[in-house]
Amino acid sequence: MNSYVPRILSTEEKQFLSPEAQEAAYHYFISEEVPSDVTEKAILQAQVLSGFGVRAISGELFHQLINANIFEDFSRLSAQLPSKDLMHRIY
């Protein structure tokens, strides 16, 4: 059973996301392909980019932000895992 709780983008958030990026955000929220905090982080990053003169980010850039956040989460997790050298010494 899908645990999805409806998430509506605010008017302010919509200013920073093109229609394609908004569609992508809703897709990620509904499909749960990525954790919702990853999607939320990408939305916040879109707002930050707007401070640098980007009006509304494209759908393609939104997908790239999602992928970058997934990679960052994966890198952080893998850094917490024991090294191969340590695992060899244990076994």
Examine residue 6 and state whether it is found in any structural domain, yes or no.
no
Examine residue 73 and state whether it is found in any structural domain, yes or no.
yes
Environment class of 81 (CB within 10 Å of its CB; exposed 0-12, middle 13-18, buried 19+): exposed
pLDDT tens digits for range 2-40: 555 678 999 999 999 999 999 999 999 999 999 999 999
- The reported pLDDT for the residue numbered 34 is 93
C-alpha triplet 51, 52, 57: angle, nearest 5°:
85
Boundaries of domain holding 20:
11-90
Q: Please state the domain count of the chain.
A: 1
pLDDT at 60 over 90: yes
- The reported pLDDT for the residue numbered 87 is 44
Rounded Cα distance between 57 and 16, Å, is 6
pLDDT tens digits for range 70-84: 987 666 655 655 555
CB atoms within 10 A of CB 45: 18
pLDDT at 53 over 70: yes
- The reported pLDDT for the residue numbered 50 is 81
Examine residue 86 and state whether it is found in any structural domain, yes or no.
yes
